[in-house]
Chains A and B, each alone.
Chain A
Amino acid sequence: MFLLQSPLMNTNGFSTLPVGVGDFVLLSVKTLFIIGALLYLVFAFVVTRQIQVMRSTVITPFSTTVQILGFVHLLMTLAVLILFITIL
């Protein structure tokens, strides 16, 4: 906790930072969040594709549910990416 509170920060947030530095840090954090969400979107897409491949490899009554889970996960990831772009 102490290490995270660098000399530029205190427990009240970025309000005491010099003008411009706080914005730069927040912009960097926002960029990292969005890049992370984009990478996760790729992962979610691969999961969906892999479920489709495995669904044709082993055919079970539960396969449809698994595929729905994969699509829900992909949609959630997309929603989170949009959320990050919107609120940050």
Chain B
Amino acid sequence: MPDIFDGSKKKPSLTSAESIQLDKISEADDSVEDFDLNPFDSKNTSDVTQPTAIRDVDDYSEVMRRETSSNNSLKSFVAKPTEIFFDSQHSQEKVLLLLRRHPVTQVGWIITAIFLAILPFLFSAVGLLQFLPSNYQFAATIGWYLLIIGFSLESFLSWFYNVYITTDERIIDVDFYNLLYKNISAAKIDNIEDITTEAGGVLASVFNFGTVKIQTAGSVTEFDFEDVPQPAKVTAFLNEMLLEEEREQLENRTN
């Protein structure tokens, strides 16, 4: 039987150089055991996919990079607002774009209000209310103007609160149909399946507004951003958002 299988025999003693080499090998083994293979550990930066911080919209959106931040809430295209929020907004969620109907679409009720406002002058010119005493004529005029104010206020509110919001997570459609009915729908960006732009008519062509139709996978299957300004730009931005969502999922980033 060879000596190597004989355990009773004493091991040959090592020289000092050999023992130092063995210590080094042992230390190297220990360091390998200590190496943490957790891909989310910031120490391991060599060849493991890293979760990076949530990026700013300007980093991935060409459309938003060209837009300046605005807080004018009376505009119909408000990019990167810092003082506009909504009630179901998450703490980390940022409003990136707020849209309303183009102001040109509101000309109809404005002209109607102006026409109604000059109507009492026409009535007095033809003496339509002459059969009433003067205090009744005065009351009728005051009541008439109050109705016009109410009509204008209601029309303005319908425009002002009928908004389409795009955040870095969702699209939200706030519909303020009338005083007694409102509807708020939301869909996650990664649920968007198809985006269509529709623009037709002389006014839409001249003033560059149209409807952006967004098909989604969810309970609400279609979102219509009606008569919004610069529909091509809105579509391009939504496509950039979709790409960013896909990139986030690939890079295992949370948002």
Known A36-B143, A59-B85, A59-B86: A51·B157 in contact at CB below 8 Å: yes
A-contact 0/1 string along B108-140, CB 8 Å cutoff: 000000000000000000111011110110111
With CB as the reference atom, state the residue of chain B lying closest to A63: B73
Chain B hits for A73, CB < 8 A: 149-150, 153
B-contact 0/1 string along A38-52, CB 8 Å cutoff: 001001101100110
Known A40-B146, A62-B74, A70-B153: A13·B131 in contact at CB below 8 Å: yes
Contact of B139 among A14, A77, A84 (CB under 8 A): A84
Known A61-B73, A66-B160: A88·B83 in contact at CB below 8 Å: no
Main secondary structure of the interface of B (DSSP, over half): mixed
Could you tell me the distance in whole angstroms from the C-beta of A55 to the nearest C-beta in chain B?
Answer: 9
With CB as the reference atom, state the residue of chain B lying closest to A36: B143
With CB as the reference atom, state the residue of chain A lying closest to B86: A58
Interchain CB contact under 8 A, A60 and B83: yes
Q: Please, how many angstroms separate the alpha-carbon atoms of A50 and B160 in the complex? A: 13
Q: Is A21 an interface residue (CB 8 A)?
A: no
Interchain CB contact under 8 A, B146 and A54: no
Q: Is B250 an interface residue (CB 8 A)?
A: no
Chain B hits for A70, CB < 8 A: 153
Interchain CB contact under 8 A, A26 and B136: yes
Chain B hits for A29, CB < 8 A: 132, 136
Chain B hits for A58, CB < 8 A: 84-87, 161, 163, 165, 174
Residues of A in contact with B, size category = 35 or more
Interchain CB contact under 8 A, B83 and A61: yes
Could you tell me the distance in whole angstroms from the C-beta of A42 to the nearest C-beta in chain B?
Answer: 11
B74, B84, B132, B146: most-surrounded residue (chain A CB, <10 A) = B146
Q: Please, how many angstroms separate the alpha-carbon atoms of A69 and B143 in the complex? A: 18
Contact of A76 among B85, B146, B157 (CB under 8 A): B146
Chain A hits for B140, CB < 8 A: 33
Interchain CB contact under 8 A, B146 and A77: yes
Q: Please, how many angstroms separate the alpha-carbon atoms of A14 and B154 in the complex? A: 37
Q: Is A87 an interface residue (CB 8 A)?
A: yes
Q: Is B107 an interface residue (CB 8 A)?
A: no
Identify the stretch in B4-12, B178-186, B213-221 within 8 Å (CB) of chain A at 4 or more residues.
B178-186
Chain A hits for B86, CB < 8 A: 57-59
Chain B hits for A43, CB < 8 A: 150, 179
Known A4-B131, A69-B153, A80-B142: A54·B182 in contact at CB below 8 Å: yes
Q: Please, how many angstroms separate the alpha-carbon atoms of A80 and B140 in the complex? A: 11
Could you tell me the distance in whole angstroms from the C-beta of A34 to the nearest C-beta in chain B?
Answer: 10
List 8 A-B pairs, minimum CB-CB distance, nearest first. A60-B73, A59-B85, A62-B73, A54-B161, A87-B135, A9-B131, A50-B179, A60-B84
Additional A-B contact list (17), CB under 8 Å, known A40-B143, A53-B182: A4-B128, A9-B131, A13-B132, A29-B136, A54-B176, A58-B163, A59-B84, A59-B85, A59-B87, A60-B73, A60-B84, A62-B160, A63-B73, A76-B149, A80-B146, A83-B142, A88-B136
Instruction: Tell me the B residues contacting A by CB distance below 8 Å.
Output: 71, 73-74, 83-87, 126-128, 130-133, 135-136, 138-140, 142-143, 146-147, 149-150, 153-154, 157, 160-161, 163, 165, 174, 176, 179-180, 182, 184
